[in-house]
Amino acid sequence: MGAWLREHQSQPLDQQQKDLQSDPNYQRLSPEQQQKVQDRLKHFDSLPPEQKQRILNRLDLMGHMTPEQRANVLHVFQDFRTLPPDRREAFRQAFRNLHGLSPEEQQKMIDSPTFQNQFSEHERDMLRTLAPLRVPAAEAPPSAPNEP
């Protein structure tokens, strides 16, 4: 989806919808899946440019993951959305602190007494899953992993 959106993002929504309907991958989807894609395209079109860019970057990153990595990340994102707002913000801050560190430094920080006191084992496992992926710190964890 990310590559398709990048290719068609400069087109007006009605042209994107027309191109989407003639796309062979889209045509293979069930009517329910086609409707979801249409809805996501409309939502994407309504977003500000910065948010569109973040979503495109996220889709590109997800497209380069193995199916197992993608499943793990999606699971973390689902868990992230269930955290209370204060825990989500603490998690985001911890993720930013891990960004730019080597995988060994990340692991050391996640296992540190400071992180053990600040985060549950589950939250630290979530960080262990995301930290090595090299997601830009300003973009992750996304608040809605399945946007368009």
pLDDT digits (tens, 9 = 90+) for 26-66: 999 999 999 999 999 999 999 999 999 888 888 888 888 88
Tokens of 72: 């793990």
pTM, two decimal places: 0.65
Tokens of 138: 């300003």
What is the per-residue pLDDT across 88-137, written as a single tens digit (0 to 9) for each? 999 999 998 998 889 999 999 999 999 999 999 999 999 999 888 765 54
Tokens 């090595």 locate to 132
Dihedral in degrees, nearest 10, Cα atoms 114, 117, 122, 126: -20
Give the pLDDT score at 6. Answer: 86
Straight-line distance from the first to the last Cα atom of the chain, in angstroms, rounded to the nearest whole number? 8
Distance CA 79, CA 45 (A): 27
Tokens of 146: 């399945």
Q: Which residue ranges make up each domain of the chain?
A: 2-46, 67-133
